[in-house]
Structure 1
Amino acid sequence: MSTTSDPMLRAVFAEDACALIGLVLAALGMGLHQLTGQPVWDAIGSILVGLLLGVVAILLIARNTAFLTGEGASPQASAELLRMLQEHPEVESVSFLHTEWVGADQLLVVASVDLSGDAAESALQDTVQAIEDQLEENPHVRRALLTLSHPDSAPLGAA
């Protein structure tokens, strides 16, 4: 599971790229002003730098809004977590899976599972905790929370 998003890294990259492009635009505007003697080139360069800053700000706002409102993992990452749960020997089926980014490169995983057998509640608690611990061994999973499925719940991925 290598799909992640780090809003801090994205912001720093966008700001630095914007600064470099802005320097080039400003230098071109000032250079053309010096060459032609017409101040309009300096004004155009300044306007282009302002537009560039506005576009980058809007892009960063739009992208980071998704994280602030609970964006989930990519379909590939969710499918890998579902596969991990379904391949666990104690899990008979998974009826619910929700993922949400809670930090840079850190997911919250909430799932509802049906365990095999008819174990006592105390044994189920240990089994569920062991499955949560196994999911949390994944470096992208910050916390895993499992609950037992309702007996009538349809498994995920069932046709």
Structure 2
Amino acid sequence: MFIMRFLANRKLSAILTDALPTMKEESPKAIFYALAANLGIAICKFAAAAFTGSGSMFAEAIHSTADCGNQLLLLFGLRQARKPASTLHPMGSGREINFYSLLVALLLFFVGGAFSVYEGVHRLFAREPLQFAFVALAVLGVSVVLEALSLWGAVKEIRKTHPDKSMWSWFRETRESELLVVAGEDIAALAGLAIAFVAVLLTMITGNPVYDALGSVGVGFLLMLISWLVAREVKSMIVGESASPEVRHAIEAHLRGRAEIRSIINMITLQWGRHVVVAVQAEMIDYASGRAMVEAINVIEADLQAAFPQVRWVFFEPEVPRA
């Protein structure tokens, strides 16, 4: 039954991802799908708990409800990331969402993964028969459908901007921490549902609750692995990552194609929430005056931001090539 609780938690996260359409670019629809799915799973678990009178199933329903808190954290983080620039934060708070994404990853590790392992080990020593297994299987089946819809929503959002990129490449290169968390949770949830379904089915067939306990342990380790992978990527974003490889290469190609620029000496990009910071050192062609060069640089910066709307800040430094 503990497995059911884990599944519920994952659902809440998925629904949250889809629940945020009003937040424009900072709110991927995936968060909304996740929130809806998780709420649906929580309702199914409460209904199953009422029907069976199972304390374990009720605990799982509570756990699923708590998982909605993960999505709420993401929503709150997205809202905080939209705060305007201030004297204290002159470039705005766009990267604040990374902090809340890391919190969700840690909750997934400790609340979902570690607790699942603990519960499974506990049931190995204090074996309890699984009652009304068919109810558990039905809830798992509904959870699979809802989680699949949530993952479909996340993948749909990913494919809008990366239609040809593999999921693993996107996972390693994305700069959207909230979508990364949602997709990771959904994938973990579906894999966990498969483990849980097999474990409950074996328990029902054999009457041996060890399978249910081992399923909980397996789900826990799976959650811990996914949460570690997600936390690793989000940590890199918090430390400070460049723009994604394709964006960085496109910006550099755009600048190298400018007639005003003789050569690019150095270029740095920095992802700042949904926006990008670009710093360029370049050797310019000869100009009759410093004012003419400044005007040329202004044109370059304006054209760059027009070609790449995500580039909010451009720091351009004309330079003499160094030996």
TM-score, normalisation: structure 1: 0.83
How far did 1:4 drift?
5.1
Partner of 2:217: 47
Partner Cα separation in structure 1 for residue 189 and residue 249 of structure 2: 38
Separation in 2 of the partners of 1:77 and 1:153? 27
Please say if residues 32 and 41 of structure 1, whose CA atoms lie closer than 8 Å, have aligned partners that are also in contact. yes
| Shift in Å, 1:124 | 2.6
Aligned residue runs from structure 1 range 57-136, under 5 A: 57-104=227-274, 106-136=275-305
Partner AA of 1:48 in structure 2: G
**SS of the residue aligned with 2:242?**
coil
- More strand by proportion, 1 or 2? 1
Worse-matched range after superposition: 38-47 or 94-103 = 94-103
**Equivalent residue, structure 2, for 1:157:** none
- 1:82 CA displacement: 1.9
Displacement of 1:13 in angstroms is 1.0
Report the Cα distance in structure 2 between the residues aligned to 1:7 and 1:139, rounded to whole angstroms.
20
CA apart distance, 1:31:
1.7
The change in CA–CA distance for 1:10 and 1:79 in structure 2 (over 3 A counts) is same
Provide, for residues 113-148 of structure 1, a one-character-per-residue CA deviation record: whole Å limited to 9, x for no partner. Answer: 122123433333222121111111213423222111
- C-alpha distance 76-22 of structure 1, shift in aligned 2 (>3 A): closer
TM-score (norm 2): 0.43
Counterpart amino acid of 1:130? V
Give the aligned length.
152
Give 3-state SS (helix, strand or coil) of 1:84's partner. Answer: helix
Once the 2 structures are TM-superposed, how far is the Cα of residue 90 of structure 1 from its aligned partner? Answer: 1.3
More helix by share: 2
Alignment deviations for residues 40-93 of structure 1 (CA, whole Å, 9 cap, x no partner): 100110001101110011000111122111222345433332221121121122
Q: RMSD over aligned Cα, in angstroms?
A: 2.2
User: What is the DSSP-based 3-state SS (H/G/I as helix, E as strand, rest coil) of the residue aligned with 1:64?
Assistant: helix
Identity %: 29
Counterpart Cα distance in 2 of 1:30 and 1:117: 75
In the alignment, which residue of structure 2 is the partner of 1:34? Answer: 204
* Other-structure match for 1:21: 191
C-alpha distance in structure 2 between counterparts of 1:26 and 1:130, whole Å: 59
